[in-house]
């Protein structure tokens, strides 16, 4: 039944998707609840936001783009993780880690030279450089030895003290032994201060 519901089904460009029909067909299959119920309904929310959200806010003057993009991205990340979990035989936590690796943030202010991360913004302080490097690394994290190589040579002497302050005074990073990872607070700080951007003018 699942093959019947999906085989040969496509929507030509310019034609609206009949999401209700697709959801009804999937409900009749013997697939898992995720395939039959949860994923189709989640995609329906994304589809409706894509097609109707801007028009709904024209009158109130609210720009929904940022909040909608965040919401939609979270839904699509979850859907992708569900497919990985279902069809690759991994746990939900493992699937989520795979997704985190796939959607790792990329910072224009950093260039990767065969594993050497070069900070292109020379005006940043040591704490900002460290935070930016960990932002770029994301779930891959970084060791203190790697950070020591990537920061400016003059900044290496006080690196441990900088890491300690970032972790314990600001909660911007988290450590396990000599391995460091940025926290949600750290990500917010990088994006708030736009440390990841470069003004090429």
Domains defined for the chain, CATH in brackets = 2-102 (no CATH), 110-193 (1.10.10.10)
HEC letters along 52-64: HHHHHCCCCCCCC
What pLDDT sits at residue 61?
Answer: 52
d(CA 184, CA 171): 9
CB 3 within 8 A of CB 25: no
- Which residue, among 149, 152, 146, 147, has the nearest Cα to 120 in the 3D structure? 152
| 2 Cβ neighbours under 8 A, 6+ residues apart | 26, 29, 30, 31, 35
Q: Considering the entire predicted model, what is its pTM? A: 0.56
What pLDDT sits at residue 1?
Answer: 47
What pLDDT sits at residue 14?
Answer: 59
What pLDDT sits at residue 48?
Answer: 81
d(CA 117, CA 109): 10
Task: Break the chain down into helix, strand, coil percent, rounded to 5.
Answer: 60, 10, 30
Q: What is the pLDDT along the chain (201 residues), one digit of tens a residue?
A: 445 555 555 556 556 667 778 778 888 888 888 888 888 888 888 888 777 655 444 445 555 566 777 788 788 888 888 888 888 888 878 777 777 666 556 678 899 999 999 999 999 999 999 999 999 998 889 999 999 999 999 999 999 999 999 999 999 999 999 999 999 999 999 989 989 887 766
Angle between helices 65-88 and 92-102 (to 10 degrees): 130
């Amino acid at each position: 039944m699942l093959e019947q519901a999906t085989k040969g089904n496509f929507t030509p460009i310019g034609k609206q998707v009949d999401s209700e029909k697709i959801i009804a067909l999937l409900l009749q299959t013997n697939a898992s609840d995720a395939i039959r119920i949860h994923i189709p309904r989640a995609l329906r929310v994304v589809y409706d936001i894509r097609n109707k959200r801007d028009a709904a806010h024209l009158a109130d003057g609210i720009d929904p783009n940022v909040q909608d993009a965040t919401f939609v991205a979270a839904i699509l990340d979850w859907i992708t993780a569900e497919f990985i979990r279902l069809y690759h035989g991994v746990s939900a936590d493992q699937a989520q880690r795979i997704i985190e690796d796939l959607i790792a943030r990329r910072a224009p202010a950093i260039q990767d030279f065969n594993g050497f991360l070069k900070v292109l913004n020379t005006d940043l302080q040591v704490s900002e450089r460290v935070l930016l490097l960990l932002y770029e690394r994301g779930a891959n994290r970084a060791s203190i030895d790697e950070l020591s190589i990537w920061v400016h040579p003059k900044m290496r002497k006080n690196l441990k003290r900088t890491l300690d302050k970032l972790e314990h005074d600001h909660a911007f990073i988290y450590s396990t032994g000599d391995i460091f990872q940025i926290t949600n607070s750290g990500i917010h700080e990088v994006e708030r201060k736009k440390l990841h951007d470069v003004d090429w003018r």
